[in-house]
Chains A and B, each alone.
Chain A
Amino acid sequence: MNSNYLAQYLVNEGKLTPAEIKPLLADIADKDPQLPLMALKLRMLDADALKGLDTASSGDFGKDALQKGLLSHDQLQKLHRQMPGETLRFAQALLDGGRMDFGELQSEFAAYEKASPDPVYSAVEKAAAGQIDDPELYADYMTLFMDSLVGFLHTPVVIDPEPFVIPNDYFSDNVYEVSQRIEGDANLVSGMMAKEKEFISLAARYSQEEMNEVDDLAVDSMEEFFNVVNGLYCIQLAGKNKETELGLPRWNKNIAPRGDQQLLLKIHADLGSFAVVLAADEFM
C-alpha cells in the first residue's frame, strides 16, 4: 500500500485543508523518515518516551535509546530495515514543518489506522454524496490509481472529499482529457481532466521525457498510464471473478464530461490539481 492515507485521513477530517496539504506533498520526495518517527509509528516507543531521547538524528537516537534501555538491538535493526512508505514520509514532513509534534502524530496514527472505512473510500463516498450506486467500485479504483501515481509517477496525491463542481471558467484555459473503458462483468470508464501545465507535468513524470507542450507524446503518455492502471484494475476484478475487457484509450480537449453515474474527483498533488472522472459510460 503506497498511498498517503494519513494525508487523506487528515483532509477527510478537516484537520488539514487541500491548500495546506499541497506544499507538504511537495516536500515528501525529499523526506527520509527518521528512526524516532518510525519507532513511534511501529509503537515501539510512545511520544512521552521520545521526549527523553535525542531525536535530532537517527544515529544519535539509536545510541541514546540503546543506552537508556528503551530499545533493543533487534528493535533497532528492525527499524533500520523498515521500508518507509508515503505515510511516514508525510508524517516526517509534518514533523519537520512544525505542523505536528510526536504527541499529535501518535494520536493521528492511532486514529487513522482505526478509520473505517479506509480514508480513500471515505473521500470517494463523501464526494459522491449518495449519487453513485456502487461507490466501492470507484473507491477500489481510486486506491489503485493513487498507488499507481506514487509507483509510476512518484506523485503522492489526496482526493478532495468535497464534491467537485466544474467552475464556469474552467475551460477558458485548455483542458486536456483522456479516458478508457472497462467493460464486462463490471462497467467503468475512467479518465482525467487537467489543465495544460498539470497535464504536461503528469505526462513528463510518467514518460520520463522532457516535455514543454501537450503534443502527441504527452497525450500518448497519459493514455498509456491509464491503460496500465486499468489493466491492473481488470486483473484485480478478475480476482473477484469479474471478467472485463479494456477499450481503446481516447483523448479530447475542452469537453465538459457527461456520463451516467458520473463522479468528478478533484485531486491535489505537488504539481497542482487535476480531476479524475469516473462514469458508467463514455463521458466525452
Chain B
Amino acid sequence: MENTENRKLKILISDDSKLLRKKLRAELEELNCEVIEAENGKEAIMLDLQEHPDGVILDIVMPEVGGIEALQVIREVSPEIPVVMLSSAGTPQKLMQTLKMGAIDFIQKPYTGDQIKKAIEQIRKRVARDEQ
C-alpha cells in the first residue's frame, strides 16, 4: 500500500462560491490533493457517500443544505472522515458548535495558505492513523 505521507489525498470541498472553490482547488492541488467540488451541503453529502473522500472542507452558509446540517449528516454516515470548517461565519458560538459536532478545525475566511496547509497535514495524520 502506498505510504499515506506520499499518496494523493482525495479532498471534498463544499462552498457556494465559485471563486473560493477555484482558489482552494489550486492550493490543494499544490499540496498533492485530488479535489472534488460541491456547491452546497446537499451535494457535499451525496459526494461524501459516492466518493469516500479522505477529508472534507465545508463552508457553513450555503444554499439548499447548509454546512452545519451537512456536517451532522457526514459525521453520522462517515464518522471516520475528518471535516474542516472553512467559513466566514466564525463566531465563537459557531466555532464551538462545529467542533463539538466533530469538525477537527475551523478556519475563518479569509484564509491563508498556511492555514490550509496545516488543515491538510491534520487530515493526512488522521488518515495515516486510521490506515495503520
A83, CB-defined interface residue at 8 Å = no
- CB-defined contacts of B88 to chain A, threshold 8 Å: 227-228, 230-232, 234, 246
A235, CB-defined interface residue at 8 Å = yes
Majority DSSP secondary structure for residues of A touching B:
helix
Residues 3-25 of B contacting A (Cβ, < 8 Å):
16-20, 22
Asked whether, in the complex, the Cβ of A234 is within 8 Å of the Cβ of B61, the reply is no
Asked whether, in the complex, the Cβ of A238 is within 8 Å of the Cβ of B19, the reply is no
Asked whether, in the complex, the Cβ of A216 is within 8 Å of the Cβ of B18, the reply is yes
22 A/B residue pairs, CB under 8 Å, sorted by A:
A207-B19, A220-B18, A220-B19, A223-B17, A224-B19, A224-B20, A228-B88, A228-B109, A228-B110, A230-B88, A231-B88, A231-B89, A231-B90, A231-B108, A234-B88, A234-B91, A235-B90, A235-B108, A238-B91, A238-B93, A247-B61, A248-B61
- CB-defined contacts of A228 to chain B, threshold 8 Å: 88, 109-110
With contact pairs A227-B109, A231-B109 given, residues A243 and B18 touching in the complex (Cβ less than 8 Å): no
A residues sitting closer than 8 Å to B (CB atoms) are 152, 207, 209, 216-217, 220-221, 223-224, 227-228, 230-232, 234-235, 238, 243-248
B92, CB-defined interface residue at 8 Å = yes
Q: How many A-B contacts if CB must be within 8 Å?
A: 53
B87, CB-defined interface residue at 8 Å = yes
B79, CB-defined interface residue at 8 Å = no
- Least CB separation from A248: chain B residue: B63
- Least CB separation from B66: chain A residue: A248
- Least CB separation from A223: chain B residue: B17
Distance from A240 Cβ to chain B, minimum over Cβ atoms (Å): 12
- Least CB separation from A218: chain B residue: B19
